Amino acid sequence: MTYYDQYLREIGILIKRLRAEKGWTQAQLARKAADLGAPVVHRQEISQMENGQFLGSVRKLQAVLRTLRYTLTATVARKPQLEELETLFGDED
């Protein structure tokens, strides 16, 4: 399992728990997300999210989380280039 897969599973567990705490069905959560102006989210997509198998748009995932009063944030990072490593870890003789 990749880091990405684990991350999706953790988000799915959170969505399922929050939805259950509110007493909503998957269909109700999908409708409530749409009522907040989100792109159309189908009940099947909520199921995929909860099972860590959602491969749809980030906008839909954000909309569902926003409906549950959560936000999705991301940090974009890149690996340093070989030339940059010397600057970062060079000898200090």
Query: Which position has the higher pLDDT, 2 or 41?
Result: 41
Please give the Cα distance from 48 to 12 (Å, whole number).
Answer: 8
Q: Kindly state which CATH superfamily the domain 1-93 is placed in.
A: lambda repressor-like DNA-binding domains (1.10.260.40)
What does the longest C-alpha to C-alpha distance in the chain come to?
Answer: 65
Domain boundary assignment for the chain? 1-93
Q: What is the pLDDT of residues 54-67, one digit of tens each?
A: 998 899 999 999 99
pLDDT over 70 at 90, yes or no? no
For 54, which DSSP code?
-
- Backbone φ/ψ region at 89: left (φ over 0), alpha (ψ -120 to 50), beta: alpha
Please give the Cα distance from 93 to 24 (Å, whole number).
Answer: 64
pLDDT over 70 at 9, yes or no? yes
